[in-house]
Structure 1
Amino acid sequence: MVKRQSRFVCQNCGAVTTRWAGRCDNCGEWNSIVEEASTADIMTAATGKAARTKGRRLELSSLDAPIAAEPRVITGIGEFDRVTGGGIVPGSAILIGGDPGIGKSTLLLQAAAALARRNHRVVYVTGEEATAQVQLRARRLGADTAPVALAAETSVETILETLGAGPAPTLVVIDSIQTLHTSVAEASPGTVTQVRASAQALIRYAKLSGAAVILVGHVTKDGQIAGPRVVEHMVDAVLTFEGDPSHAFRLLRGSKNRFGPTDELGVFEMTGGGLAEVANPSELFLGERDTSTPGAAVFAGMEGTRPLLVEIQALVTPSRLGTPRRSVIGWDGARLSMILAVLEARCGVALSAHDIYLAVAGGLRIAEPAADLAVAASLISSRAGVALPADVVYFGEVSLSGRVRAVPHAPGRLKEAAKLGFRGAIVPPQVGAGIDGCATSEVALLVNLVHRIAPAGFADERQSTFSGDD
């Protein structure tokens, strides 16, 4: 008989303690510890039986043994296949998270319908909605004619019994993992114990049957996938579906992928008929650009293997507050503070008495350090009141000494800029002479960029604008 015990589990990080406390010592979250009664070994959730005391002998292989190529199942949705690494690998487990209402269920229903139309068996299990609600959404998306098997169930044992009754499907969609429960864990659905046990059972089914399983996960208020972080380690790929509710486009970002590159990005546009793929995201992010306004610089970035051009906007204005404002949207606030310190200490640009507002146009979030030069250019342009050239892009990393460092994938960035009609690029040293249609101009120090944008210097703080000579 399996030994049962009572324990206290943090619902934020999954830490286990022997007694209740108001604050978790592991993650620092308040009021997140809940008492749970579960099996002593939660890993038995995959089989529903107690673990054997004796294992079996494994057959070992060498590192130079022949490797069979992993087959992939193409859904037909190009942006989804790009992020997954070229298609879904049979037997893999994928975890996808996103804010409520961002379009996770819509994306997966479209992917399931596209796969079913290619003569693959697809099972869609919903634990949050009734089957009628999913059918209405499918009708709105034009996917109601696709042969997708649909069910509304929250019991893991019932789901596995249903899946095992027929031939193994190509794809199983579980929406969502927080709504499932298994009888081997005596806890409420959505708790750390239930999420971990349910995920383990479904992942084991995927490995044994060869069916790919996609698990939908809720996210916390800071954008992290809710539940224990161990689930992210258990699955083969972790995808995040994100976007600004005030904009029509959505971003599918891969943060982990055992069968493909990480940090890939897929771009979709939310329309009345569902999610539509965006073939050229750079045109989307630059579609409404105002080239005559100071403080706007175009950054030539990379998202995974995809070059992406996006506009960075800055507004620098004298502050009437004792502590000036620093507002950042779509970029790292700590990195903005570093750029401001370098501009003031190494370049003589007075910014400590100014309010600083920085935003990445379109709601995209940038994480790579290559955006340092574009951010600095937008700040200098806004401070000087001089608009930057409309046909020039910027990329490069700025060090604390004020030196501009080289970044990887420079040819891909320049090629994307040339394709969209940009004729010049401000780049770090050692990049080269550029490519046809897009010439490069190197800056070794950030102070050189300041002199290039504002050769006559800056206006004093009593003036609101400055017009320098070109």
Structure 2
Amino acid sequence: MAKPDLYRCTECGWSGVKWLGQCPECQAWGSVDEVGGVTKASLQPGRIITPAKPIAEIDVASAIARSSGVPELDRVLGGGIVPGAAILLAGEPGVGKSTLLLAVSAESAKANMKVLYVTGEESASQVRLRAERLKALHPNLFLAAESDLGVLLAHVDQVKPDLLIVDSVQTISTQSVDGSPGGVTQVREVAGALIRVAKERALATILVGHVTKDGSIAGPRLLEHLVDVVLNFEGEKHTRLRLVRAIKNRFGATDEVGCFDLNENGIEGLADPTGLFLSRHSEPVPGTCITVAMEGRRPLLAEIQALVGGASNNTNPRRTTSGLDNARAMMTLAVLELRAGIPLAGRDTYLATVGGMKLTEPAADLALALAVGSAAKGLALPSDLIALGEVGLAGEVRKVNGIQQRLNEAARLGFTRAIVPDLKGELKIPGMEIL
């Protein structure tokens, strides 16, 4: 009797023996794909190759992280790349994933590590030209343009690398299963095979994964469950700033963020990226206010700018935000008008952050309110002032998390005054006046 086909949801992993247009578990449309026949697991005991040991006797010397050569990436990974680790780097097309990995390849090669870079999307000559532009040529860096899993593994046997990079996992296919490259079955088998090789040979492996329009990793969430580390590479194409966030990390924290500057010379880590988010004015300008945002555990100074039009009888004034949470911004405008008496009705209001930074946390509410008030009154705020606090609907200013760390960062960068919630003398920052 033929085995029934199995269908699996690429979003949540639900499986069934019947195709459905909508997943009954997560309600996603068009996410159920055929993945093969149903098989029962064998209960026959297998042959033990490596016997179980008491946990205290397990050798951890081979699991010590090695630096990638890119400090900002090491920060996110928890110190470096662990031998045998499977790392998934996800990001939108064109955001700079290949550029970052070429930089990692070059730095690792300089550290006397053999690196095998396998590309399934470009020709070897195309990658070589980009590597030359980025000054990433090194005898320890090996390049192969392959899309077949068997040939890829043959390259691994030949080169015996310390680091394997596959760009991208969706372009690699295997003849052992049906389906087109990038399909659920192919991605699962290819990723599973590469991860098994990584574990058996203590071969650190980085897999590139594409991101779909809705922000999920294409071909699936099942990739996220298979790997040890999931990194999201983020950034707007019209800005130079790029962020790497750890979504899953078996070797470190998931609240760290790495900052990078993508420029004509390649990609560079930013140990102090504040300059990208602040404008340069010789004199204070009305409608600007500085705040301190938290990206993971990292404080970053950000500038909020506001422009308020003149009074008019317009019953439908324009409200435009860029880089800010629109709902919170509209709430703050309502509080300013009703609680602070600032006339905004009928006046066009434009709100934005500098440098393309995205601010969604409530800690930016007070800086936004001060920027709008400054623009509406035409009065500039002092250039050495920062503001931190969440604004409530009653007009109160609430405490935010990590305020001590935020103020320490602002003081380090030369700010001497801060408007914060009333903390009853809890805060004492050397060289800073708490208002």
Which TM-score applies when normalising by structure 1? Answer: 0.80
Matching residue within 142, 148, 151 for 1:149: 142
Residue deviations 1:126-183 (CA, integer Å, cap 9, x gap) = 110111111111111111124112111222333234424564x322111112212233
Q: Aligned AA for 1:36?
A: E
Look up the match of 2:433: 439
**Contact kept? 1:243, 1:364, Cα under 8 Å:** no
Q: Distance in 2 between matches of 1:245 and 1:339?
A: 29
Q: Aligned AA for 1:107?
A: L
Bigger mean CA offset, 157-166 vs 359-368: 157-166
> 5 Å matches for 1:187-226?
187-226=179-218
Aligned-pair identity (%): 47
Q: Distance in 1 between matches of 2:59 and 2:293?
A: 35
Q: Aligned AA for 2:308?
A: V
**Contact kept? 2:68, 2:80, Cα under 8 Å:** yes
Q: CA deviation at 1:109?
A: 0.7
Matching residue within 245, 252, 255 for 2:247: 255
Residue deviations 1:44-68 (CA, integer Å, cap 9, x gap) = xxxxxx9543456884867x99995
Query: Partner of 2:122: helix, strand, or coil?
Result: coil
Q: Distance in 2 between matches of 1:406 and 1:157?
A: 57
Look up the match of 1:38: 36
Q: Distance in 1 between matches of 2:379 and 2:214?
A: 36
> 5 Å matches for 1:342-353?
342-351=335-344, 353=346
Change (3 A) 1:367 1:289: farther
> 5 Å matches for 1:403-442?
403-430=396-423, 432-441=426-435
Look up the match of 1:88: 81
**Contact kept? 1:20, 1:33, Cα under 8 Å:** no
1:376 aligns with 2:372: no
> 5 Å matches for 1:288-367?
288=280, 292-317=284-309, 323-351=316-344, 353-367=346-360
List structure 1 segments (4+ residues) > 6 angstroms apart after TM superposition. Answer: 64-67
Q: Aligned AA for 1:270?
A: L
Query: Partner of 2:199: helix, strand, or coil?
Result: helix
Matching residue within 124, 129, 134 for 2:117: 124
Which TM-score applies when normalising by structure 2? Answer: 0.86
Residue deviations 1:91-143 (CA, integer Å, cap 9, x gap) = 22222122222211011011011001111121111110111111111111111
Q: May I ask how many residue pairs the two structures share in their alignment?
A: 429
Q: Distance in 2 between matches of 1:394 and 1:302?
A: 14
Q: Distance in 1 between matches of 2:416 and 2:112?
A: 47
**Contact kept? 1:6, 1:35, Cα under 8 Å:** no
Q: Aligned AA for 2:426?
A: G
Q: CA deviation at 1:329?
A: 2.5
Matching residue within 176, 179, 187 for 2:168: 176
Q: Aligned AA for 2:74?
A: D
Bigger mean CA offset, 119-128 vs 400-409: 400-409
Change (3 A) 1:66 1:214: closer
Query: Partner of 2:116: helix, strand, or coil?
Result: strand
Look up the match of 1:53: 43
Query: Partner of 1:116: helix, strand, or coil?
Result: helix
Q: Aligned AA for 1:40?
A: V
1:111 aligns with 2:86: no
**Contact kept? 1:113, 1:146, Cα under 8 Å:** no
Look up the match of 2:69: 76
Change (3 A) 1:161 1:429: farther
Residue deviations 1:174-208 (CA, integer Å, cap 9, x gap) = 11122122334422212233223322322232223
Q: Distance in 2 between matches of 1:263 and 1:435?
A: 25
> 5 Å matches for 1:135-146?
135-146=128-139
Change (3 A) 1:126 1:422: same
